[in-house]
């Protein structure tokens, strides 16, 4: 790489460099996966004053689903939509680590997932799959099953708790719907009690770490807890 190329790479936002590196890596093993990264990349690169950036990204996601209808084996009720929702969500949660939660980019990522879910509901619940439930496993692991390590100094522990905190910041509206539903037969409990427990764990992290913690962890944790209370206030009464 020339010095000019290195300078350009440094000037570009981290999220863009990481997305394009992921596209190159996925092309080798999973040729279909880069399209999810491309949707997110184009969303974040859209003009700051574009009102169509999020709707266009949502439409691209649905078009991706439609285009695969003839070549994929799909079974009701979700007809393969759950896999695609999880794929785009995984990309969003990877990228959100590289953006500040007070930025336009963060808002666009959140609105992308919310827009996809709302559009699915309008189509008869097409994507009412296990997406949020699967991602909520990160809460279970970070706050209950594998909660070892000093969050004030251990980078690995900080990264572990950052994942569910980012989930809440980006898609809390989707998670709270699942918690309120309290569906029977789940492999693990996800209800008001869990919501309250995890909110207390997030508060503990916000209280424990300093202002200089990696990835704005303190601010993100504080904001995530506030959002959890706002989304499900009755469980804190």
Per-residue pLDDT at 52: 96
Whole-angstrom CA distances from 24 to 19, 27, 33, 37, 48 are 9, 5, 10, 10, 26
Identify which of 34-38, 67-71, 144-148 has the greatest average pLDDT.
34-38
> Which residues, 6+ apart, have CB-to-CB distance to 236 below 8 Å?
196, 199, 229
Q: Tokens at residue 3, please? A: 């010095």
Looking at residue 79, its pLDDT comes to: 40
According to the model, what pLDDT value does residue 201 have?
95
Name the residue ranges covered by the structural domains of the chain: 1-128, 130-237
pLDDT single digits (tens) 170-182: 888 878 887 887 6
Residue-level pLDDT at 33: 73
Nearest Cα residue to 31 out of 4, 68, 57? 68
pLDDT of residue 80: 46
Query: Residue 172 has what pLDDT?
Result: 85
- Alpha-carbon distance of 175 to 89, in angstroms, equals 13
Per DSSP, the three-state class of 187 is coil
Q: Is the pLDDT of residue 141 over 70?
A: yes
Q: What is the pLDDT of residue 204?
A: 96
**Does residue 195 contact residue 181 with C-beta atoms inside 8 Å?**
no
Query: Is 164:137 a contact under the CB 8 Å cutoff?
Result: no
Instruction: Output the CA–CA distances (angstroms, integers) from residue 227 to 172, 197, 201, in the order listed.
Output: 7, 14, 14
Mean pLDDT of 182-188: 60
| pLDDT single digits (tens) 189-231 | 778 899 999 999 999 999 999 999 888 899 999 999 999 999 9
| The pLDDT of residue 40 | 96
- Residues contacting 136, CB < 8 A, separation 6+: 164, 167, 175, 178, 190
Mean pLDDT of 125-131: 48
| CA–CA separation, 20 and 22 (whole Å) | 5
pLDDT for residue 76 is more than 70: no
Tell me which of 81 and 75 has the higher pLDDT.
81
Place 82 in a pLDDT band, splitting at 50, 70 and 90. low
CA–CA separation, 67 vs 178, rounded Å?
29
């Amino acid at each position: 790489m020339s010095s000019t190329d290195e300078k350009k790479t440094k000037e570009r936002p981290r999220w863009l460099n990481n997305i394009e590196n992921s596209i190159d890596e996925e092309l080798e093993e999973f040729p279909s996966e880069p399209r999810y990264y491309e949707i997110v990349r184009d969303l974040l690169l859209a003009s700051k004053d574009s009102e169509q950036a999020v709707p266009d990204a949502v439409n691209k996601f649905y078009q991706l689903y439609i285009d695969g209808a003839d070549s994929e084996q799909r079974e009701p009720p979700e007809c393969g939509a759950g896999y695609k929702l999880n794929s785009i969500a995984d990309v969003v949660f990877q990228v959100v680590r590289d953006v500040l939660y007070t930025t336009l980019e963060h808002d666009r990522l959140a609105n992308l997932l919310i827009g996809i879910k709302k559009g699915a509901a309008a189509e008869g619940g097409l994507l009412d799959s296990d997406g949020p439930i699967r991602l909520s496993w990160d809460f279970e692991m970070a706050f209950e099953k594998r909660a070892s390590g000093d969050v004030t100094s251990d980078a690995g522990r900080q990264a572990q708790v950052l994942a569910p905190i980012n989930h809440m910041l980006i898609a809390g509206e989707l998670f709270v719907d699942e918690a309120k539903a309290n569906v029977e037969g789940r492999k693990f409990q996800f209800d008001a009690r869990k919501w309250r427990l995890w909110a207390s764990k997030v508060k503990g992290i916000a209280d424990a770490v300093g202002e200089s913690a990696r990835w704005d962890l303190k601010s993100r944790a504080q904001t995530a807890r506030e959002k959890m209370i706002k989304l499900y206030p009755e469980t804190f009464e």
